[in-house]
Structure 1
């Protein structure tokens, strides 16, 4: 591991290390990387978890940079503000045209072609494409490669039926929603000194399948990318690893450790800096694999912080433009704002429900949903309890209404549920299916009848 003093000398002294001094140990040739659409393909190098090999690989990439590029890397890593590209109408027009041209001449774009056939309106959305251009500072070739990689990654993770629509929480399964609610990987509502949003990844004492973690990470990224400032300035990743060993944690999965960093190549966001914070040497192999898996631009922007405690590691971030007090983690490595984050997740799902059409099936009901069925689990569900309150609040109005007007009161309640982002769901195997309006009205009517019997009214 190169310490800060060595890195600083490496960055500023052009005579310290030259291209000839360091063997090129990169396992992926430049020409292959410039054409490959696959994100997760390629074998894991036999020495991927070797710290010395990882640092030699980074040194090799640094040696290839010009003095100006090294200075850019230094500024990115240390949170020194960078001027954003001035987006004139001419630049945007020419870049969008150039992006399409570069997409057309790319040889490997199977997933993009499928998406283009299914819904060209989605693939040609102006703001969506601009996000990829901003990410690559309006380099049309790089943006085009990132764009087709995005669709290939999305196809690999979610399948063809979800390829040309935004992914929401309703698309996540039970494990993925559980990972989401762990709050261990997400964008904080804070920025570094360069104005870049901070994304944290905190290792937790539980293991999950690779695809579940990748799908959850994709969802998190694609809900954050709509922020234009993130598109223009990029983001900063802070990974926090604590404890005496990797075993039993979410990092105890070499396949995931290798694939997760590769998502950076296919998202419409620029990763300006990566900070790996850990307290024990047991994590060195894990971090070496992360650094090896990163693309070339991210490798040289990766820094390691190893101290006695997590808080000491986070304090080192101050020198890189990050206020450690904004990272919601205590000295035990525990996330301190989980309840607050759960409310944010709920609000996000509510907004998604109001924006997008109801899905055909759902794996995990929303807290505002009304679940049709008998028994205590249904009765105590928050959405069912809210429905009961809606019915109680309108009981007198319902009783006074004429026969035709009673249905209007029931409709009012159904709409009240939906305005909160709720759906009326029935169970179908291990999935939940939205019911029709008529079935929802029957449910509301049954509650009114139950309340009438309970009150002893005729």
Structure 2
């Protein structure tokens, strides 16, 4: 069932993303048989829990209790900080070199007290340089937020896991693709775990597909692949180590667990032994039984991590909508519109890793692509000193910069600016575009992909350049009437169009906007300023997905203008603010 098929007026959700229809809505539910459990009937959402077996009902209650205890155990300040972290709007983390030095000394002290007789001591005797490497140890400190004692304990677990997966001969070396056997490579290329895109604040997203864990005939291969993917991604980016990553466990549709969550516990505990900082964990489920299977995983989580867990219940469209309110946009997930797995970007990443191993650890993933010839296409953005403004990809890039320029210039802090920049980068990647740079004349490979951090700096420079151009235009007396950017449309408005005016027109599109504002007003009020704009854009995207546009009457009677995205976003934000004064105020337009 799509989110658009639901009654927005009846819908509400708790802080973990689970929808709970009202009794009135539940009375109209259609009961169907479950294809995976023919003897068990299925009801949408929480009503399905009524038909779970007694043991499963108990498990569901345990999950609810554990999640509630995790949140209630936090202070008000900790709760506020947790919300900022999972929404990606927390303050930028700045590492202090003196703090790192102090923590490293403390880490040595804790290791000295607990290493005797275990695998860590053996690793240290085999290669003191590897075990005592500053960069290696700092990974663990960042993962545990500079808690030296917790970092020491995790280092012990890390070497135990590595010994179990790869044996004593590979204990003190970085794992490369050459260390994976043919079954591991086959499992890696299947894509059960993928390094996906980044959220709107630039944090790395890992996506896990539940049923593919169970279908593997070699469970150890799955865990070795998990180790390789996550360690490689963290070694490739210090920013991922510092800012943390996002996990999305996806068990919808074809990826639904067909047994009893086999492998979930083993792989989750293995992931916890790796030096990774979890900013948030999201479970996407479309059947209450799948929610119950998370019981074993939730139990092994530390309380602090449970508070960063969100469970999203519903169809693929519904789960993606809920994820987008946390800055995880649908285009960052390796899924097509039908819920099928996409492998192109994942296999591209695997190829990068293979080339990196071939040319040496110092070669970054984008640089490793120099082994392949890159030919620019129309969707690419080309950075060559401003000489490609007529290239189609560059034209589209500058349109995006123009649309977001006012929001960027008015942003209150650097974190909000980073989110806007990430939006532009993700939008270019979503349509298959790349950011390319021409190599020097001596290079055998004419083009290379620009690393992510460099792309972000170039996008920020584009905003600064546009600000200077706008200032120069104002000095020359060029007008800035906002209606100049409106486009005159042909014909009459469509049913799903939103029509701005002195009062919102009561057509189906405007009614949908009114319902969305009403249903999400409490969520809007609870969010910080930097996150509210995401919710506004999500609401606008729902209108757009329904074929709607944002229009206003033209000066000529009977003619209509399409409002630019930036202006429409400001007006929708105004409707949310007007809703504080009551429903009648939210339907009025402020010109």
Q: What TM bracket, shorter-length normalisation?
A: 0.5 to 0.7
Structure 1 residue 238 and structure 2 residue 248: aligned? yes
- Select 1:128's aligned residue among 131, 136, 139: 136
CA RMSD of aligned residues (A): 2.6
- State the distance in 1 between where 2:120 and 2:131 align: 8
Residues 256-275 of structure 1: pairs in structure 2 closer than 5 A: 256-275=263-282
Corresponding residue for 2:321? 315
Deviation at 1:49, TM superposition (A): 8.6
Q: Comparing both chains, which one has the higher relative contact order based on Cα–Cα distances under 8 Å and sequence gaps of 6 or more?
A: 1
User: Which residue, 179, 191, 196 being the options, matches 1:183?
Assistant: 191
Contact 1:48/1:289 (8 A) holds in 2: no
Question: When the two structures are aligned, how many residues end up with a matched partner?
Answer: 311
Match of 2:344 in 1: 339
Equivalent residue for 1:350? 355
1:253 is displaced (CA, Å) by 6.1
Question: Would the aligned equivalents of 2:195 and 2:346 in 1 still touch at CA under 8 Å?
Answer: no
Q: Is residue 115–residue 121 contact of structure 2 (8 Å, CA) maintained in 1?
A: no
1:289 and 2:296 equivalent? yes
Q: Distance in 2 between matches of 1:75 and 1:109?
A: 42
Structure 2: which 5+ residue stretches go unaligned? Answer: 1-11, 18-54, 362-370, 372-591
Matched, 1:277 2:277: no
Q: Provide closer, same or farther for how the CA distance between residues 55 and 109 of structure 1 changes in structure 2, counting only shifts above 3 A.
A: farther
- What's the secondary structure of 1:5's corresponding residue? coil
Give the superposition deviation at 1:289.
Answer: 2.4
Question: Is the 1:76–1:272 contact (alpha carbons within 8 Å) kept by the matching residues of 2?
Answer: yes
Q: Deviations over 1:388-412 (max 9, x none)?
A: xxxxxxxxxxxxxxxxxxxxxxxxx
Tell me by how many angstroms 1:128 deviates. Answer: 0.8
Q: Is the aligned partner of 1:328 residue 2:337?
A: no
Query: Per-residue displacement from partner, 1:277-319 (whole Å, max 9, x unpaired)?
Result: 1222231222222222333332221111111x21221121111
Match of 1:56 in 2: 65
Shift of 1:78: 2.1
| Equivalent pair of 2:209/2:255 in contact (CA under 8 Å) | no
* CA deviation map 1:323-355 (0-9, x unaligned): 22221212432122x134223212311221332
Which residue number in structure 2 is paired with residue 81 of structure 1? Answer: 90
Please name the residue that 1:199 is paired with. Answer: 206
- Greater alpha carbon shift after TM alignment, 260-269 vs 312-321: 260-269
Task: Quote the residue 1:5 is aligned against.
Answer: 14
Q: Which stretch has the larger CA shift, 284-293 or 141-150?
A: 284-293
Q: Cα deviation per residue 1:45-95 (whole Å; 9 max; x = unaligned)?
A: x989922112212222333222222222222222223331x3233222212
* Structure-1-length-normalised TM-score: 0.63
Distance 1:51 1:210, change over 3 A: farther
Structure 1, unpaired ranges of 5+: 9-45, 357-367, 369-458
Partner Cα separation in structure 1 for residue 186 and residue 166 of structure 2:
18
Q: Within the alignment, does 1:140 sit opposite 2:160 as a pair?
A: no
For normalisation by structure 2, the TM-score amounts to 0.49
Question: CA 1:253/1:220 → structure 2, altered by over 3 Å: closer, same or farther?
Answer: farther
